[in-house]
Chain A
Amino acid sequence: MIVKLIDYLRDRLKTVIRICYGVLALLVLYDIFFVDKHSAHLAIEKVPGFWAIFGFIACVLIIILSKWYGHVKWFGSDFRVMSPEDFYDD
C-alpha cells in the first residue's frame, strides 16, 4: 500500500514538484493576507513572508557553513574535521 502510493507519486514527480511549489506560494500568501501578527515579538517578524526567508537562508547557511567547517584544512595542516574512517585505527 505504502509502496504503491510512493511509486504513484514518483511516477508523477514533475506534477508533485509543481504542487509543492504551489503550496509554498500559497503559504506565503496566507501569511501576508490572513495571519494576525499582533503576537509577534519584533518588528522584523512583520515583514511579509519573513519566516519563509528565514527558513530558506537558515537551511542554506547551515549546509554551506557546516560543509566548510568539515572540509577546510585546519591550522594550515592536512587535518580536516571530516577524516577517513580509519583515522583512529593504529
Chain B
Amino acid sequence: MTEFIHPGFVLIFGALLLPFAMGPLRKPYIMLVPILAFMSVLNMQHGTYGVVNFMDWELTFGRVDALSQVFGYIMTLMCIIGSMYGLHVKDPKEHMAAWMYVGGSLGVIYCADYITLFIFWELMAFTSVFLVWFRKRKESLPTGFRYLLVHTAGGLILLAGFVLRYKATGALDFNLLDVDHPALYTYLIMVGFILNAAVPPFHAWLPDAYGEATVSGAVFMCAFTTKTAVYALARGLAGLDILIVLGVIMALYGVVYAVLENDSRRLLAYHIISQVGYMVAGVGIGTQMAINGACAHAFAHILYKGLLFMGCGSVLYMTGKSKFSELGGLYKKMPWAFVFTLIGGLSISAFPLFSGFVSKSMIVFAGAEQHLYWASFLLTLASAGTFLHTGLKVPYFIWFGKNNCSKETWEKAADPPWNMMVAMAVASFLCIFIGSYTPYLYKMLPYQNEAADYALHVYSSYHVSESLQILLFTALGFFLLIKKLAPEPTISIDMDWFYRIGGRGFFWLARKPIQTFDTWFSEVYRTVGLHPLMTTSKFWSWFDWHGIDGVVDGLARFVRSLGTKLRTVQDGRLQHNIYYAVAIVAVLIVTYVYG
C-alpha cells in the first residue's frame, strides 16, 4: 500500500460511483467511502506527495504535516458522522454533492500551491450550493444563487491576490506570507480567505445559506467551509494583527444576532460566526499556543456544531419546523434529541468535561500570554453569550418553554430515525471524550511543547472555577430575564440587505430607463411614424413597412429584448453570468500578468 492516497479523491471518485451502488448496496457503500477516506488520513506519513508539473507550474496535492493532519483527521471523521446522519436520504445526489464538497475541503487542506488551492476552493462552493438547492423550497433557489455569487466574488478576490503575488515574487507556494510587511496581495488573499471564514462584513451568506440548506446538508456545510478557511488563514496569514480585531468583532457580532434570531438553525449559524471568531483571533495572535488553540477549537467546533445542527435538524426533519415561535415543550416527544442537543450546547459553551472547555480557553489563554487583555476579556464576554443562546435558549425554547406547536407539529414530533440517533450519539460521545481526556486532542496539535504546557493548566482549580462562575451566573441572568428572550417571529436584517435590496435597486435602474425609452420610442413611432403616413399614400405605406419598420421597430425590438435580457439576468440565468464573470476576470488577470 502506498503512503499517500488523497482522501479528497477517495471521496470525489466515491461520489462519482455512488449512483451505481444500488439497492441493498447503497447504505453500506455510503458508510464505506468516508471510512476509506478517514483510513487514508490515518495511514499517511508526513512528507510531500502528488507533485505534478502543469505548464510552467509545479502543483502539489499532498503536503502532509501536523497542521494539515489535524484538519484532515477531523474533516474525514465528520464526513463519516454526517454520512451516517444522512443515511436515510434516498436521493444519491445529496450524498454526491456532500462528498465532493468535503473532497474540495480536503483538497485545500493537503495542497501546497495556490493554483491547486483555488481549484478546490471553487469546487467547495460549486458543490455545496446543491445542498441548499436540494431543499427544494421556493426560497432555496435564490438563496443558493446568492451563496454562489458571494463565494464566486470571494474566489475572484483570492485569485487576484495570488496572481498579483505571482507577478511580484514569481512564487505560487501556499505557505506563510510575510505578515509583517503586508502588500496589497496579502490583503486580497486575506479577503478571499476571510470571506469563507464568514468575517463581517462578508458573513451574511452563512446564516442565509445554512438556515435554508437541507437537514443533512446543513450538517456538512456547518463543518467544512469556515474551518477550511481557518486552516488557510493559519497556514498563510498566522500573526497578521488585523485578524485579532476581526476575530473579536466576529465573536461578538454573532452573539448579538443570535439574541435576535427566531430560527434555530439560523441561530446556530450566527454562533458559527461567533465561534470562528475565536479561531480567527487565535490565528491573528499567531503564537504557537494560539495556533494550537485555533486548531483545537476548529477540531472541537466541527463536532459540537455538527451535533447541534443534527439536533435542531432532527426537529426540523420530524416536525417540519425550525422556528422557536412554532416549537416548544417537545421534551416529552423528542427526549433523546434534547439530550444530544444539550451535550452540543454544553460543549460549545465550554463547560468543564466538554470539548469546548479544552479548546476555546487555549485561545483566550494565548491572548492573555501576549498581554492582549482586551481581546481575552471580550472573547470571554462572548462565551457568556454562547452559553446564553446555544446552551440555554435553543434547548429551552424547543424542548421546554411555552408550547407554540400546532396540533400537527405536536403529532409529528418524535425522536428521529435510528441512523440520525447513532450519528448524534457518536458526536456526543466524542464531545465528552475530547473534554474529559485531553491527550486525545492535544497529541494531534501542531506544537507539542505548548500543548503539553497548556495541558497542565486547563483543569487547574482556577480555570474550572472561573468557567463555572461565568456559565452558571449567565444561566442566572437568563432565567431572570427570560421574558425578554421570548421568541419573536421576525427576521434580522443583516449585510445581505446590500445585495438583496441593493441588487434590486441596480436592476430597477437598469430596467426602468430602458423600458421607458422603449415605450417612448413605440409611442413616437405610432404617432409620428405610422399613423399619418398610413393615411397619405401607398408609397409612404410601403416605405413605412419596409423602411421605418425595418429600422425603427427593429431598434425598438432590440431595446425591448435588451430589457428582457436584463430581466432574465435577475431571474434565473445567474449561473451563466457567474461563469462568464469568472472566465472574464480570469482571462483579464492572466493577460495582465503575461502582458
Contact = CB atoms under 8 A, between A and B. Distances in A.
Contact of A36 (B380, B462, B500, B501): B462
Nearest to B399: A6
A83 B474 contact: no
Contacts of B476: 24, 56, 59
A34 interface: yes
Interface string A47-87: 00101111110111111111101100000000111111101
B385 interface: yes
A63 B489 CA distance: 17
Given A3-B335, A62-B384, A66-B260, A56 B465 contact: no
B591 interface: no
B561 interface: no
B343 to A, nearest CB: 13
A40 B473 CA distance: 20
B44 to A, nearest CB: 38
Given A42-B373, A58-B385, A70-B492, A63 B259 contact: yes
Interface residues of A, number: 46
A55 B477 CA distance: 8
A60 to B, nearest CB: 5
Interface string B450-478: 00000001001111011111111110111
A62 B256 contact: yes
A56 B462 contact: no
Given A37-B462, A69-B256, A58 B492 contact: no
A55 B485 contact: no
B90 interface: no
A27 interface: yes
B476 to A, nearest CB: 6
A41 B373 contact: yes
B256 A85 contact: no
Given A85-B491, A87-B491, A27 B469 contact: yes
A35 B336 contact: no
Contacts of B338: 2
Contact of B492 (A42, A54, A61, A82): A82
B490 interface: yes
Interface of A is mostly: helix
B457 A39 contact: yes
Interface in A1-56: 2-3, 6, 23-24, 27-28, 30-31, 34-37, 39-42, 45, 49, 51-56
Given A2-B335, A62-B255, A27 B384 contact: no
Contact of B462 (A40, A53, A69, A88): A40
A28 B468 CA distance: 10
Interface in B300-344: 331-332, 335-336, 338-339
Given A2-B335, A49-B469, A83-B490, A55 B259 contact: no
A59 B335 contact: no
Contacts of B256: 62, 65-66, 69
Interface string B480-515: 010011001111110000001100000000000000
Contacts of A55: 384, 469-474, 477
B176 interface: no
Contacts of B331: 2-3, 6
Given A2-B336, A62-B255, A82-B488, A27 B260 contact: no
Contacts of B470: 51-52, 54-55, 58
B477 to A, nearest CB: 3
Among A28, A37, A40, A88, the most chain B Cβ lie within 10 Å of the Cβ of: A88
A52 B484 contact: no
A82 B462 contact: no
A31 B465 contact: yes
Contacts of A37: 462
Interface string B208-240: 000000000000000000000000000000000
A20 to B, nearest CB: 8
B89 interface: no
A40 B376 CA distance: 12
Contacts of B490: 70, 82-85
Nearest to A38: B462
Contacts of A3: 331-332, 335
Contact of A59 (B339, B388, B489): B388
A36 B476 CA distance: 25
Given A41-B373, A82-B260, A51 B492 contact: no
B469 to A, nearest CB: 4
A31 B469 contact: yes
Contacts of B260: 66-67, 69-70, 81-82
B368 interface: yes
A59 B477 contact: yes
A76 B433 CA distance: 52
Highest count of chain B CB atoms <10 Å: which of A23, A39, A62, A85: A62
Nearest to A41: B368
A69 to B, nearest CB: 6
Contacts of B472: 23-24, 27, 52, 55
A62 B388 contact: yes
B308 to A, nearest CB: 18
B259 A58 contact: no
Interface of A: 2-3, 6, 23-24, 27-28, 30-31, 34-37, 39-42, 45, 49, 51-56, 58-67, 69-70, 79-85, 87-88
Interface of B: 255-257, 259-260, 331-332, 335-336, 338-339, 368, 373, 376, 380-381, 384-385, 388, 457, 460-463, 465-474, 476-478, 481, 484-485, 488-493, 500-501
Given A64-B484, A66-B260, 5 more contacts: A52-B469, A59-B481, A81-B492, A81-B493, A88-B501
10 contacts: A2-B336, A39-B462, A45-B466, A49-B469, A55-B473, A56-B474, A59-B473, A62-B385, A66-B260, A88-B500
| Top 7 A-B residue pairs of the complex, sorted by shortest distance between their CB atoms | A59-B477, A66-B259, A55-B473, A55-B470, A58-B384, A51-B469, A2-B335
